[in-house]
Structure 1
């Protein structure tokens, strides 16, 4: 009777546990919901928002906030007619600018600046109405665009830094929906192909959606509690990581769960066995990604520093949901969720010829040849990185041409020897006259005028003789900074220059930290020094080859005129952290085989044969999710998505399959040095002759 009651209680517990987890997740989502919906409200995408507080251009923006009216929104109204402007065109321009002045509070009176060929007329306009409010800035820009319009061959574009910020903000705000839907669609398609089931793919996809919603709520909490910066780029990458990493974890869990269902009758017990089998590998891989991403906290650039916590939040939310909510839902749905390929209890899966067994066999027969050939190939591809275009200009950061960029291109053509974007200098009041004289005497300065004064600082607006973000204007900015002690030089072009300099500094600091953090995690997991170094060398080679491929296609094929300054650092962090992920799955299984007594060469081939299919599926999903970024309207997102997607594919189908396997075969036991597996196993002595049992008489 007691045994029957015990079994009944155990059955009730098995039925209750999944429902408990499901109920807990409903509560978690209810708590996170008010915060998740507010994440877009704290997103900031101006160039100055990406910069550190110590940058000279950031200090200029902060000082401008204290001036009467706060930081000014700079606009340029550009009137152009092919063949030359008519008298009526000039009157139209003057009337429209007067209407703008009547409708808004402007800094000074806008003055017309005609081009030498008479085909273009520009009106620089500045307003302090919006201040730091992005919604008010966008309203100002859109209102000016409604007023300034042309007809009958007269084109009118509104450009300037304020218009660029508005166009960029509109693009970033529009990313959320398309990015989420496209990512979900790509993942759904791949899961249908992988699982070959009309229902199973819905479960991990829905759980990934829950993880993304939770991550949004946690990210908003970090912003409110710790001031973590949130940009359109970082929030978009967070969504990509949730779906990419989460689906990878789901693939591992579901694959193991399917195996256990053939061996264990009850789904609950099969899930417990599956979690025990693949849980440690999933935890280790997510820990490696989190450790690598958190190294971005050492970056000085706000956008990169904010990317670390948000990316970590995405990975950890994916981990928690896939190890708690996904198992609960799968257990509740039972075996029927796998229809039509239901894994029956006691059944044996059909044996198929393994592609990865064949690939591993070729690597095992000639390991040194395969290793050398792969290294030469990766090295040759990496050379292409020298062909990457220069730093990306703000006007070239859109894949489609918005109105602000059209205005800048018209200005660059009409005023080739005149700057069309102001450089702002903030100088102490007591030295304003001296600073103004030095500025006007600086080579490359076309004009300089005193502006507003407040709080002991005077604003001086400088116009360079060179085009925005050109080498000549950059030289002028650097000369102003060198020649003006105690003053700060800012403006849109100075902000782009500070972005480049800060990225170089961050790369020199964060890259060694990432390598060190990942190496420590791998050493602790694999209990070896050679194997972790092998994996790190492989992912660094993949990073170099990916940048090389990018150098071969960015300008010739995609038509990109520049490379995002943060591409090198961000692609390195993601490729190292995510690439080592798959190395963990492979090397951990290899270590298990060695512990069971297999020789290192045989263990490497067995590990590839058993984990190759799952790693390939996970790699395809992760590469596809990052490839979604290549369909976005911002060049920096396209470039980042392309490099990471290419890198993941190289890592999955070349480095993991051939190079790591062949290196492990070639090194033998040395791959586990200095751990105990690096030493030959002690020979097992033959069993001693057992004496015949002696019957002891019973007393």
Structure 2
């Protein structure tokens, strides 16, 4: 027998009885419970945003310097605020009516719900007379209790509506600062419950209609995926509500597409095998049990690989990364549960009619693998031209890899993080052009009170810190300032320092005090981050000061630093874990090593293409520091799925027909379903682009392109061609390595 020959189909009919020991009724019981819990949990999908966090401080570990400085600063006030501005502009110059209207708005701001009234400052006019701003920070934490995203968003929205009411024609108003930009971010995530799910569901339905060629069958996988999403939402909601994990808008969006995409993948594999067995079994329950037993090892191994890979994120420093692992792992676990219990029970109960108009029956035997269809032709081509095939695929991937040097992962400003232009971005641009960029979001320095003067003297000399009087001062006690205002007085500034007098400054607590330093650059710019680095170096050198630098810029810088740390730590861990799982599954070492190398090559090629597309097609300013890690975890964990689906079937065929024939048979029989699964997963991740956020658009493109590259090139050509060329040695050191070529 040659490598490309196949054995004729047997005419012996498989036994028509349930295998002993199969947990038939147990699966039915779990299916019913999954249906009830998933249906009940569906309502919690819309509640996830109420327990979601999107501020940098909630991402950071307690050991971060900005976290420690922030915790000390919290002792000096019962409330912590999120800086924000209302920016007014008339390009031809503000009129008297404009200024009167702005003064009226200022009178209302301090009493607006959710605004930190003590910290509101008078109207500031731009030097050119075309703009004005009101500092209107939002209360982010009151008496140690953080304000959730929904309430923050509502407070900012109400404030903006209040500020726009009654303005003269031609006078525009925009929110700005961290508060306005955060609310714009939360509003973007607001599309998760509607736009994203509708788009993803529509894409899945369309692809399943094309794959199954049935107007009915698509409903079962999609409904099962919705149940899995409901079940995972129920679990995650209560864990996030009780602070067991941190849920972010990013992880919430990823959860939705991950469950829909992975769930559809598992369903495609199961349904494909079920259709295959319906040609052999008279009774559909027997066919489903056979299909379940044959597909379960690959599906569970795939799910386990993804779950373990995601849980490796628990080693992260960032709380957002650390919790994304459990959030996504819970989603995959719930998906496995539903797809391997509810879906098979529902399909077996429904009967063969769900495949209409092409109902599989024993009277219409399935085609022998490798004898017909496009994947039979691909398998025959690989069998004849295996060496040229894997060399050509390898060269293509290496060419894509060239562009990796152009991928910029130094981070994005908050304004650069949107694919559209929300009002907060417009307002920030106006503010940066007309006012002191660093105002409203100073560096917050916790120091020993007896060394405060020495620290101030050092900070004033640091490049990137504003030099105008009052830029570096001990923090004002806003409660005292409010009392003074209520009494009709005003706070006099120091004659030379520009700072509030000592009587209005915060009093030391446990020998510590707070110094604020206004930066010369916008809080989320690279220049501001560089200034924070210089500040830390300078104040750490002050003897006996015990200085720690926090604030908005410092927190963002710490997030960026932690992202790089997490990337360098977790990627090797994930690779080792996946290698171990594959070795146990395939009972070999050489095959898993080969799969890891090919997936890494695919990942590198994807980053290379991303570098070109992000810069020259999408026109993005760059990518977040965490982008390579997220792309790696999802591409490698999900990309390895298709190799697991392929190689488990190849091993099954190898046991009967030898390695090279097994490779070709495995490729031909799994080609259609795995390619369909890849297209579904790619399409669902691509749907992330409907949300106006650069990070999700980039991640969606990277996973979508990478999955297609892995499915079409790596799994369809590179891996089978290499395996065919290597032959039985690919199973080393198992007994199969000594079997037939």
* 1:680 Cα deviation from its structure 2 partner: 5.0
Corresponding position of 1:647 = 706
Corresponding position of 1:690 = none
Between 257-266 and 118-127, the greater mean CA deviation after superposition: 118-127
Quickly say closer, same or farther: Cα 1:483–1:39, change in 2 above 3 A.
same
Quickly say closer, same or farther: Cα 1:359–1:71, change in 2 above 3 A.
same
* 1:99 Cα deviation from its structure 2 partner: 2.6
**CA distance in 2: counterparts of 1:481 and 1:373, whole angstroms:** 52
Between 45-54 and 193-202, the greater mean CA deviation after superposition: 45-54
Corresponding position of 1:436 = 456
Contact 2:28/2:342 (CA < 8 Å) preserved in 1?
no
Corresponding position of 2:557 = 497
Corresponding position of 1:378 = 397
Matched, 1:612 2:629: no
Contact 2:120/2:135 (CA < 8 Å) preserved in 1?
no
- Match of residue 549, structure 1, among 594, 601, 609: 609
Matched, 1:400 2:420: yes
Between 607-616 and 90-99, the greater mean CA deviation after superposition: 90-99
Contact 2:46/2:193 (CA < 8 Å) preserved in 1?
no
Matched, 1:235 2:290: no
- Match of residue 131, structure 2, among 114, 120, 134: 120
Equivalences for 1:249-328 in 2 at 5 Å? 249-328=266-345
Quickly say closer, same or farther: Cα 1:226–1:96, change in 2 above 3 A.
closer
**CA distance in 2: counterparts of 1:410 and 1:592, whole angstroms:** 65
- Match of residue 432, structure 2, among 406, 409, 412: 412
Corresponding position of 1:594 = 654
Secondary structure of 1:596's counterpart equals helix
Quickly say closer, same or farther: Cα 1:129–1:586, change in 2 above 3 A.
closer
Contact 2:682/2:704 (CA < 8 Å) preserved in 1?
yes
Secondary structure of 2:292's counterpart equals helix
* 1:620 Cα deviation from its structure 2 partner: 0.7
**CA distance in 2: counterparts of 1:538 and 1:127, whole angstroms:** 50
* 1:80 Cα deviation from its structure 2 partner: 1.8
Quickly say closer, same or farther: Cα 1:145–1:460, change in 2 above 3 A.
farther
**CA distance in 1: counterparts of 2:71 and 2:108, whole angstroms:** 30
Matched, 1:96 2:129: no
Between 201-210 and 163-172, the greater mean CA deviation after superposition: 163-172
Matched, 1:158 2:175: yes
Quickly say closer, same or farther: Cα 1:64–1:579, change in 2 above 3 A.
same
Contact 1:130/1:140 (CA < 8 Å) preserved in 2?
no
Corresponding position of 1:3 = none
Corresponding position of 1:686 = none
* 1:113 Cα deviation from its structure 2 partner: 3.8
Corresponding position of 1:661 = 720
Contact 2:43/2:230 (CA < 8 Å) preserved in 1?
no
**CA distance in 2: counterparts of 1:232 and 1:319, whole angstroms:** 24
Quickly say closer, same or farther: Cα 1:293–1:353, change in 2 above 3 A.
same
Q: Describe the superposition over 1:231-262 as per-residue Cα deviations: whole angstroms up to 9, x where unpaired.
A: 11112212212111111111111111112122
Equivalences for 1:438-457 in 2 at 5 Å? 438-446=458-466, 447-451=471-475, 452=477, 453=506, 455-456=509-510, 457=512
Secondary structure of 2:447's counterpart equals strand
**CA distance in 2: counterparts of 1:507 and 1:180, whole angstroms:** 29
- Match of residue 514, structure 2, among 456, 459, 462: 459
Matched, 1:532 2:592: yes
Between 265-274 and 68-77, the greater mean CA deviation after superposition: 68-77
**CA distance in 1: counterparts of 2:39 and 2:295, whole angstroms:** 30
**CA distance in 1: counterparts of 2:205 and 2:138, whole angstroms:** 48
Secondary structure of 2:616's counterpart equals coil
Corresponding position of 1:676 = 735
Secondary structure of 1:348's counterpart equals coil
Corresponding position of 2:347 = 330
Quickly say closer, same or farther: Cα 1:129–1:292, change in 2 above 3 A.
closer
* 1:71 Cα deviation from its structure 2 partner: 0.9
Equivalences for 1:32-71 in 2 at 5 Å? 32=41, 38-71=47-80
TM-score, normalised to structure 1's length? 0.90
Secondary structure of 1:248's counterpart equals helix
Q: Describe the superposition over 1:21-66 as per-residue Cα deviations: whole angstroms up to 9, x where unpaired.
A: 5543344347757866653322111222222222222233333433
Quickly say closer, same or farther: Cα 1:658–1:332, change in 2 above 3 A.
same
Matched, 1:561 2:628: no
Contact 2:246/2:323 (CA < 8 Å) preserved in 1?
yes
User: What's the Cα RMSD here?
Assistant: 2.8
Quickly say closer, same or farther: Cα 1:34–1:91, change in 2 above 3 A.
closer
Contact 2:110/2:117 (CA < 8 Å) preserved in 1?
yes
**CA distance in 1: counterparts of 2:439 and 2:242, whole angstroms:** 42
Q: Describe the superposition over 1:627-685 as per-residue Cα deviations: whole angstroms up to 9, x where unpaired.
A: 11011121111111110000000000001111111211221222122222223559xxx
Quickly say closer, same or farther: Cα 1:23–1:360, change in 2 above 3 A.
closer
Secondary structure of 1:511's counterpart equals helix
Corresponding position of 2:486 = none
**CA distance in 2: counterparts of 1:648 and 1:492, whole angstroms:** 37
**CA distance in 1: counterparts of 2:601 and 2:32, whole angstroms:** 46
**CA distance in 1: counterparts of 2:238 and 2:57, whole angstroms:** 23
Contact 2:443/2:516 (CA < 8 Å) preserved in 1?
yes
Corresponding position of 1:476 = 531
Corresponding position of 2:493 = none
Matched, 1:580 2:640: yes
* 1:526 Cα deviation from its structure 2 partner: 1.0
Contact 1:612/1:657 (CA < 8 Å) preserved in 2?
yes
Corresponding position of 1:695 = none
**CA distance in 2: counterparts of 1:190 and 1:34, whole angstroms:** 26
Quickly say closer, same or farther: Cα 1:108–1:436, change in 2 above 3 A.
farther
Between 260-269 and 410-419, the greater mean CA deviation after superposition: 410-419
Between 152-161 and 321-330, the greater mean CA deviation after superposition: 152-161
Secondary structure of 1:72's counterpart equals strand
Q: Describe the superposition over 1:104-136 as per-residue Cα deviations: whole angstroms up to 9, x where unpaired.
A: 553356244443433233333335586321354
Q: Describe the superposition over 1:294-349 as per-residue Cα deviations: whole angstroms up to 9, x where unpaired.
A: 11111111111111111111111111111111111112111112111111233224
Matched, 1:206 2:223: yes
* 1:88 Cα deviation from its structure 2 partner: 3.4
* 1:283 Cα deviation from its structure 2 partner: 1.1
Quickly say closer, same or farther: Cα 1:128–1:430, change in 2 above 3 A.
farther
Secondary structure of 2:110's counterpart equals helix
**CA distance in 1: counterparts of 2:65 and 2:424, whole angstroms:** 25
* 1:141 Cα deviation from its structure 2 partner: 2.0
Secondary structure of 1:441's counterpart equals coil
Corresponding position of 1:626 = 685
* 1:410 Cα deviation from its structure 2 partner: 1.1
TM-score, normalised to structure 2's length? 0.85
**CA distance in 1: counterparts of 2:401 and 2:666, whole angstroms:** 29
Between 360-369 and 283-292, the greater mean CA deviation after superposition: 360-369
* 1:552 Cα deviation from its structure 2 partner: 1.0
Corresponding position of 1:76 = 85
Count of aligned pairs: 674
Equivalences for 1:173-252 in 2 at 5 Å? 173-223=190-240, 227-252=244-269
* 1:534 Cα deviation from its structure 2 partner: 0.9
**CA distance in 1: counterparts of 2:23 and 2:628, whole angstroms:** 49
Corresponding position of 2:6 = none
Quickly say closer, same or farther: Cα 1:662–1:679, change in 2 above 3 A.
same
